[in-house]
């Protein structure tokens, strides 16, 4: 029994260290930057507020070198202020996962894909770009929020806006469209799935597209006029099991997708595996995005083509091939210790100059209208393909419950496990909608 007594002596010693550490800093004020960060404590400061502003930026792996350059330029743009800016690695597609685990430990400024916006906003992770931020931008960067909104494409601003509030700065368009090999497929054949697949079969090649994904699959339905929506309580609304405003039923769209997937020349691609498949040489057309431009050029030849997704027949109506309009955004952590400066940095990393630099480094299409109209950018086939698709692309509003059920539904279409008679498809769609629209819990 005495064991306990002495164990506790020690336990207390440690618990007090804990207490000392915690009571020092109010949990609420625990900032994204560790206090023991050596760079932060050395305050060799002159000019500006006299304080070294410590910031941390998260960007994609491929963007690290670019970010380094841009951050240097940012420092040069504000010579009166001393900064200590760290650059961390966080893939844009997974930023949410790490941010939401502990918002207060996440970076001050981070890049993320726009589908994560609702979750990030709901968790209070994003600092809204409100009137005060407008004032900050006016004071320091000489531009207003209205300037930024008008400088970027409407869709990109829309993707960064929720309930009328702007939450992040768009810096790159991230949508998908179709690449094809003109030696196998003519421009006319690329206009509809039927002719496209037949031409591919005749050429002994395949057409690749990811179906098991809430992002790609939605294109079929959005194109036919169906929608998804995000409710205030975080649940998702979905009408795919009904009839769209354009008079097409979800059953018909699903049957069309099933028919496409069952075509011998169709190849369902695993999400994220498209570049591998293009490289393998078995494809003559693929639904993908600008990130695959180079690979497509290598596989399909320099005269490769990029255009909007082909149309398909739903019942007796022709439905244009829709897509999800997606963007990459630069956001500011609501819990950032230096939120004002973080905002300025985020704006800087997404301004016209930075977008041009990003295009030259990685061929990612800018959202800035004047950057996009740059002749070199406009001539890029991938960018042109994305622009072509944008006529049929819609923003995607969906909550957290949307993704897994739709991914599974897409996989069922890809594998053909749904029977194509009306009743079975209707039942499958009803199940899907039930899952997507389920309350959170």
**Residue 267: φ, ψ to 5°:** -125, 115
Q: Would you give the DSSP letter of residue 370?
A: H
| Nearer of residues 90 and 380 to other proteins, judged by Cβ | 90
DSSP string, 226-238: --EEE-TTS-EEE
Q: Count residues near other proteins (CB under 8 A).
A: 108
- Interface residue with other proteins, options 149, 191, 358, 407 (CB under 8 A): 407
Binding mask 290-309 for other proteins (x = CB under 8 A): -x------------------
Q: Residues 350, 330: contact at Cβ < 8 Å? A: yes
Smallest separation, CB 22 to other proteins (Å): 5
Tally of residues, the chain: 441
- Interface residue with other proteins, options 73, 75, 93, 362 (CB under 8 A): 93
| Nearer of residues 42 and 415 to other proteins, judged by Cβ | 415
Smallest separation, CB 380 to other proteins (Å): 20
Q: Does 329 bind other proteins (CB under 8 A)?
A: no
| Nearer of residues 296 and 387 to other proteins, judged by Cβ | 296
| Nearer of residues 140 and 388 to other proteins, judged by Cβ | 140
Residue numbers 219-248 binding other proteins by CB under 8 A: 233-234
| Nearer of residues 158 and 340 to other proteins, judged by Cβ | 340
DSSP string, 240-264: TTSB-TTS-BHHHHHHHHHHHHHST
Q: Does 280 bind other proteins (CB under 8 A)?
A: yes
Residue 109 token pair: 């400024």
Range in contact with other proteins (rule: CB under 8 A) among 192-200, 223-231, 241-249, 334-342:
334-342
Q: Which of 390, 263, 240 is nearest to 323 (CA)?
A: 390
- Interface residue with other proteins, options 85, 111, 178, 212 (CB under 8 A): 212
- Interface residue with other proteins, options 42, 276, 370, 424 (CB under 8 A): 276
251-288 burial by CB neighbour count: b if 16+ within 10 A, else e?
A: bbbbbbbbbbbebebbbbbeeeebbebbeeeebbbbbb
| Nearer of residues 360 and 415 to other proteins, judged by Cβ | 415
User: Using CA atoms, how far apart are residues 379 and 102, in angstroms rounded to an integer?
Assistant: 43
Q: Does 2 bind other proteins (CB under 8 A)?
A: yes
- Interface residue with other proteins, options 84, 277, 326, 394 (CB under 8 A): 277
Residue numbers 120-179 binding other proteins by CB under 8 A: 122-125, 127, 132-133, 135-136
User: Using CA atoms, how far apart are residues 337 and 339, in angstroms rounded to an integer?
Assistant: 6
- Interface residue with other proteins, options 199, 307, 346, 428 (CB under 8 A): 428
- Interface residue with other proteins, options 115, 119, 174, 181 (CB under 8 A): 119
Strands, DSSP E only, in 303-405?
305-307, 312-314, 317-319, 323-325, 327-332, 393-395
Residue numbers 62-91 binding other proteins by CB under 8 A: 62, 64-65, 68, 86, 88-91
Q: Does 431 bind other proteins (CB under 8 A)?
A: yes
User: Using CA atoms, how far apart are residues 139 and 378, in angstroms rounded to an integer?
Assistant: 33
Mention every residue, 6+ apart, whose C-beta is less than 8 A from residue 304. Answer: 179, 180, 181, 182, 296, 297, 381
Smallest separation, CB 408 to other proteins (Å): 3
Residue 190 token pair: 């690329």
Residue numbers 256-275 binding other proteins by CB under 8 A: 270-273, 275
User: Using CA atoms, how far apart are residues 22 and 277, in angstroms rounded to an integer?
Assistant: 52
Residue numbers 364-403 binding other proteins by CB under 8 A: 400
Chain centroid to Cα 57, Å, comes to 17
């Amino acid at each position: 029994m005495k064991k306990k007594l002495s164990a506790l002596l020690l336990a207390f010693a440690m618990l007090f260290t804990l207490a000392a550490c915690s009571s020092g800093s109010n949990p609420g004020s625990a900032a994204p930057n560790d206090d023991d960060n050596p760079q932060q404590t050395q305050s060799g400061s002159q000019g500006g507020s006299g304080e070294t502003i410590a910031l941390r930026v998260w960007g994609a792996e491929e963007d690290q070198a670019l970010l380094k350059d841009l951050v240097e330029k940012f420092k040069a743009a504000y010579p009166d202020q001393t900064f200590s800016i760290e650059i961390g690695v966080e893939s844009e597609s997974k930023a949410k996962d790490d941010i939401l685990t502990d918002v207060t430990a996440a970076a001050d400024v981070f890049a993320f894909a726009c589908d994560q916006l609702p979750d990030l906003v709901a968790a209070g992770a994003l600092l809204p770009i409100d009137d005060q931020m407008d004032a900050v931008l006016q004071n320091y960067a000489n531009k207003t929020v209205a300037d930024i909104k008008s400088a970027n494409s409407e869709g990109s601003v829309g993707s960064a806006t929720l309930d009328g509030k702007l939450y992040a700065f768009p810096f790159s368009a991230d949508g998908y469209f179709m690449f094809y090999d003109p030696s196998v497929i003519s421009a006319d054949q690329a206009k509809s799935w039927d002719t496209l697949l037949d031409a591919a079969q005749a050429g002994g090649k395949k057409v690749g597209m990811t179906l098991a994904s809430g992002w790609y699959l939605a294109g079929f339905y959005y194109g036919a006029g169906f929608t998804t929506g995000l409710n205030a309580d975080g649940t998702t609304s979905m009408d795919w099991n009904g009839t769209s405003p354009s008079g097409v039923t979800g059953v018909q769209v699903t049957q069309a997708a099933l028919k496409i997937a069952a075509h011998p020349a169709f190849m369902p691609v695993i999400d994220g595996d498209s570049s591998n498949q293009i490289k393998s040489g078995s494809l003559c057309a693929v639904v993908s995005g600008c990130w695959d431009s180079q690979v497509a050029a290598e596989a399909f030849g320099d005269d490769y083509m990029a255009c909007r997704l082909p149309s398909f027949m739903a019942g007796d109506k022709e439905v244009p091939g829709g897509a999800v309009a997606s963007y990459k955004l630069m956001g500011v952590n609501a819990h950032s210790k230096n939120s004002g400066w973080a905002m300025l940095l985020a704006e800087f990393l997404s301004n016209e100059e930075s977008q041009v630099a990003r295009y030259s480094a990685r061929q990612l299409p800018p959202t800035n209208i004047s950057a996009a109209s740059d002749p070199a950018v406009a001539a890029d086939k991938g960018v042109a393909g994305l622009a072509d698709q944008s006529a049929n692309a819609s923003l995607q509003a969906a909550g957290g419950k949307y993704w897994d059920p739709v991914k599974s539904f897409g996989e069922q279409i890809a594998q053909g496990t749904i029977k194509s008679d009306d009743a079975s498809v209707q039942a499958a769609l009803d199940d899907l909608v039930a899952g997507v629209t389920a309350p959170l819990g």
